[in-house]
């Protein structure tokens, strides 16, 4: 059974800092990995999707990397802003179309 | 949340009553999913569908049933609601399994009293 872990559970940084969120998984036979953002009381918004054959994806200030062999993915956020404050979740997809989610990292960016 | 709508957004119901949650999509995506989100447990898959009348169980399917008679609608039914089913329920859609990732609805907050 796939297990997905996100550490730390919470992170607080001052505005402008670059930061890295971590996601680890136990079974390296993944199909893809997706990073989401969730604001309090809201649904999940997709940020980046990395296929198993890819090493990284970029969108604006966000960069996600994937290392299947070590069972790790990182989400890099450059020049953080207060508007980046949210919970970030990673989801590891299998070839049956299902995904296993981590519990998320709650990020607070202080002005 | 363009293209995917959940209803109702909020519901309070009594223990033992049946409850049906609806997920409607306008994207004509083949795959649809129901997840529940609880503090300390993250998102857990309840049921999913890979086509009309084709459904399968997820990791927490006990006490839930689903139906998909049309591509655009995926219904989740709690046959006899219990307090342990108090949760936020999310529907998600996908173009073709995991190839293109998920798009989520806004969620339904269900309280069973």
* Closest listed residue to residue A56, CA positions, set A16, A83, A29, A20: A20
Chain B contact residues (CB < 8 Å to A): 1, 31, 33, 35, 40-45, 48, 50, 58, 90, 92, 94, 96-107
Q: What percent of chain B has pLDDT over 70?
A: 94
Query: A103 — contact with chain B (CB < 8 Å)?
Result: yes
Write down the pLDDT at residue B99: 60
Coil, strand or helix at A100? strand
Q: Which residues in chain B touch residue A49, judged by CB atoms under 8 angstroms apart? A: 100-101
The pLDDT confidence band at residue A94, using thresholds 50, 70 and 90, is confident
Inter-chain CB proximity B43 and A98 less than 8 Å: no
Joined tokens for residue A90: 């990673």
Inter-chain CB proximity A93 and B105 less than 8 Å: no
**Above 90 in pLDDT, residue A96?**
no
DSSP string, B36-77: EEETTTEEEEEEEEEETTEEEE-TT-TTEEEEEEETTEEEEE
SS3 content of chain A, % helix, strand, coil (to 5): 5, 60, 40
Partner-chain residue, chosen from B35, B92, B101, that has the shortest CB–CB distance to A32: B101
Q: What are the CA-CA distances from residue B66 to residues A96, A100, B50, B77, B95 (Å)? A: 19, 20, 12, 6, 20
Partner-chain residue, chosen from A31, A43, A102, that has the shortest CB–CB distance to B98: A31
Partner-chain residue, chosen from B44, B90, B101, that has the shortest CB–CB distance to A43: B90
pLDDT tens for each residue of B92-107: 998 765 566 889 999 9
φ/ψ of residue B52, rounded to 5: -60, 125
Average pLDDT of the residues in A58-72: 96
């Amino acid at each position: 059974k796939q297990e997905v872990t996100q550490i730390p559970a919470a992170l607080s940084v001052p505005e402008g800092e670059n930061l890295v969120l971590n996601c680890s998984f136990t079974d390296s036979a993944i199909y893809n990995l997706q990073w989401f953002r969730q604001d309090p009381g809201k649904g999940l918004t997709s940020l980046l999707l990395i296929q198993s054959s890819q090493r990284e994806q970029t969108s604006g200030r966000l960069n996600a990397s994937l290392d299947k062999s070590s069972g790790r993915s990182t989400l890099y956020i450059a020049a953080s802003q207060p508007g980046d404050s949210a919970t970030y979740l990673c989801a590891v997809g299998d070839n049956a179309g299902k995904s296993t989610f981590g519990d998320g990292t709650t990020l607070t960016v202080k002005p | 949340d363009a293209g995917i709508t959940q209803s109702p957004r909020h519901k309070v119901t009594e223990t033992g009553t049946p409850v049906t949650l609806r997920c409607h999509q306008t994207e004509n995506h083949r795959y649809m999913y129901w997840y529940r989100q609880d503090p300390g447990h993250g998102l857990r898959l309840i049921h999913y569908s890979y086509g009309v009348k084709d459904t399968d169980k997820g990791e927490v399917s006990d006490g839930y049933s689903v139906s998909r008679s049309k591509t655009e609608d995926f219904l989740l039914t709690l046959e006899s609601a219990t307090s342990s089913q108090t949760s936020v329920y999310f529907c998600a859609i996908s173009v073709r399994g995991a190839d293109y990732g998920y798009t989520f609805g806004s969620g339904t907050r269900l309280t069973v009293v």
